[in-house]
Amino acid sequence: MAHFVFTPLYGLNPSQVNDNRLFEILYALTLEVIILKISKGWQVALAGMGINFLGGICYTWSIFGRGLTREFGWTQAQASLPYTVFIFCYAICMIIAGGVQDRIGPRRTIAAGGVLLGSSFILASFFKMPVVVAVVWGSFFGAGLACCFASATPAAIKWFPPERRGLVVGVVVGGMGLSALVMSPLVNSLTGKGVSFAFLVSGLVLGTGIVLLSRLVSNPPLAGTVASSKEKVSNRFEVLHLRPFYFLWIMFLLTTAAGLTFATHLDRITRVHASYEKGYLMVSLFALFNAAGRPIGGFLSDLLGRVRAMTVTFIVMTCTLLFLIKAVNPLFLAIAVAFLGLTYGGVFSLFPAAAASLFGDKNRTGDS
């Protein structure tokens, strides 16, 4: 880095450097450093987006579950068990993963997460018993995704000023929203060749891809010392004594629970509520607007402020849910699905940015 920056100074005679020339040199060097930092910041952000895109394969579990039911004779309850174990392990491991990346950094934490994600599918490909697959896939995948998700976004936002962090968060987490749209047909094609084969290929792709992308993720130089002077809370445990933390936590719980429940049952909602048999089209529509809502939510967060952006999002989400009650034909249902996708996706940009603004970078999930 130093060699690259100071190379233009080689060969200069100190006597030739007057005040104007010195100012020009310092200005050029400052501009060069700024450009390099922004470029590196977007490299980290796009790498994080790719990592989340690969981890978003969890949204396609219903396709794997359908294959397990068809090929191995599992019941619907048995096919749902691995995903239930995954959600539980993911929630617990997110807290642990944040502490791990505090100590060893985002790059190694994400690499470890990639190994766990890949291993979850590869190991599951050798078993057919529901309980074994649930424990192996659910626990490994939950821990692996927690390592990736708790490290990618915090590393990215450290490279950017506060007024741009909402957009950056939207770009990074947008990868997971886009994943549901792209991964579904690919996983469906793989399971057609056998569930074990689909598990094996998915594990190899996830493990290799995430480990390679982790090489592009890092914290900016002196990130800890720069951030420490601006922290609102000096210790992460102090956050537990603040009322806004619990308000934020409850709001995030309620909005994500509602969105996840709606997305999980959208195919059946389409068939029963709107008498439309092509529910998969509504699922794809939701995934598309979910992906779009993440950068849009981040942009609105930077433009309007965290609280105002949340207020707008919650109002739109509430009105859409009320409209959904009367959306008994496919066209109106599609409109409701689009707006719910936008607002649900926006939530995943608004809350991380709000946490950083309210409590400081050090106390954001997965941050040091």
Contact 343, 293 (CB under 8 A): yes
Residue-level pLDDT at 68 = 92
Residue-level pLDDT at 220 = 85
Three-class HEC string of 138-158: HHHHHHHHHHHHHHHHHHHHC
Report the distance separating Cα 280 and Cα 270, nearest Å.
9
Residue-level pLDDT at 227 = 41
Residue-level pLDDT at 259 = 77
Six-digit token pair at 19?
């005040």
Contact 55, 179 (CB under 8 A): yes
Residue-level pLDDT at 20 = 59
Contact 96, 206 (CB under 8 A): no
In this prediction the pTM is 0.73
Residue-level pLDDT at 234 = 54
Distances (CA, A) of 146 to 150, 151, 203, 339: 6, 8, 17, 28
Tell me the mean pLDDT per 10 residues along the chain, length 368.
Answer: 40 50 57 60 90 90 87 89 89 85 91 96 94 95 93 86 76 83 86 94 96 92 48 61 81 79 77 81 84 85 85 91 89 93 86 74 46
Residue-level pLDDT at 6 = 39
Report the distance separating Cα 257 and Cα 248, nearest Å.
14
Contact 360, 337 (CB under 8 A): no
Residue-level pLDDT at 226 = 39
Residue-level pLDDT at 279 = 75
DSSP code string of 281-315: HHHHHHHHHHHHHHHHHHHHHHHH-HHHHHHHHHH
Report the distance separating Cα 255 and Cα 344, nearest Å.
7
Question: What is the per-residue burial (b if ≥16 Cβ within 10 Å, else e) of 198-228?
Answer: bbbbbbebbbebbbebbebbbbbeebeeebe
